[in-house]
Amino acid sequence: SQTIHQWPATLVQPVGSPLSLECTVEGTSNPNLYWYRQAAGRGLQLLFYSVGIGQISSEVPQNLSASRPQDRQFILSSKKLLLSDSGFYLCAWRQRGGWNTEAFFGQGTRLTVV
């Protein structure tokens, strides 16, 4: 069966520090991968998505970046965090090629920038 791992679950970082959030998927190959951010009481904002190794589509500018060094690994990074980067970060995967396949989410990382 397929599983998605996202870590850490919670993170407190000072303003200006770097960030690296990792997401890995097991039990499938060639997944579509997504990073979302959710502010308190709001919907999911799409940050990045990837349809293959090294292929990243960016939906937001600013100080975040994403990389996909391996087929089932998706990394969200920042060189210098801002206060506004605080939020709930969710990674998701979806089977490629299936038109009716649902997206499965990791458990999320709650990031607080102080």
Partner 1 sequence: GQNIDQPTEMTATEGAIVQINCTYQTSGFNGLFWYQQHAGEAPTFLSYNVLDGLEEKGRFSSFLSRSKGYSYLLLKELQMKDSASYLCASVSAGNKLTFGGGTRVLVKP
Angle at 44 between CA 67 and CA 87, to 5 degrees: 75
Residue 5 within binding range of partner 1, rule CB under 8 A: no
Q: How far apart are the first and last CA of the chain?
A: 38
Which listed residue (76, 106, 111, 113) binds partner 1 by CB under 8 A?
A: 106
Site for partner 1 in 7-36 (CB under 8 A): 32, 34, 36
Which listed residue (61, 69, 83, 100) binds partner 1 by CB under 8 A?
A: 100
> Site size for partner 1, by CB under 8 A?
25
Rg (C-alpha) for the chain, rounded Å, is 14
**Mapping DSSP to helix (H, G, I), strand (E, B) and coil, where does residue 13 land?**
strand
Tokens coding 114: 């102080």
Q: Which stretch binds partner 1 (CB under 8 A): 11-19, 22-30, 46-54, 76-84?
A: 46-54
**Mapping DSSP to helix (H, G, I), strand (E, B) and coil, where does residue 23 land?**
strand
Q: Applying CB under 8 A, which residues contact partner 1?
A: 32, 34, 36, 41-46, 49, 51, 57, 90, 92, 94, 96, 99-100, 102-108
